[in-house]
Amino acid sequence: MKRVLFVCVHNSARSQIAESFLNRLSGFSAESAGLEPGSLNPFVVRAMSELGFDISANRTKSVKEFAGQDFDYVVAVCDKEAADRCPVVPLNGEKLHWEFPDPSSFQGTDEEKLAFARRVRDSILQKIQEWVVLQNLT
């Protein structure tokens, strides 16, 4: 089974979303971690629950927890602002960078923040689905 580690800055949104989707939608084993672990984004938790994914009990993790482990892929899911730090992860595995905006950076009402989290969630889902198809073709 191929192992994938999704990395973002805080492991609070994008990497958690990607891990959840890849684990359920493929035969891969996915984990997620952050460079500076924070706390789960409540709007992402709500957006994921709308699709039947309960990530409310997930723990944010540091990339340091995965030191010495082998991964087939290490996928940075950072935005432009964090791109210079995010892909620099001292782990084994082919490095990929999928750029997604950070839901925690969005300002607005709670409903606007939830709508933004949904857009990010849907973008990540689309990318995961496309990538799984490509992986199964190779």
The range of the structural domain enclosing residue 114 comes to 3-137
CATH of the domain at 131: 3.40.50.2300
- Residue 32 pairs with which residues in a beta bridge? 6
Q: In 10 A of CB 129, how many CB atoms?
A: 14
Q: What is the pLDDT of residues 30-84, one digit of tens each?
A: 999 998 899 999 999 999 999 999 999 999 999 999 988 999 999 999 876 655 6
Q: What is the pLDDT of residues 99-135, one digit of tens each?
A: 999 998 899 999 999 999 999 999 999 999 999 999 8
Give the global pTM.
Answer: 0.92
How many domains, in total, are found in the chain? 1
**Residue 78 catalytic?**
yes
**Residue 86 catalytic?**
yes
What is the reported pLDDT for 68? 85
Write down the catalytic residue from 7, 35, 48, 86: 86
**Residue 71 catalytic?**
no
| CA–CA distance, 117 with 11 (Å, rounded to integer) | 14
What is the reported pLDDT for 4? 95
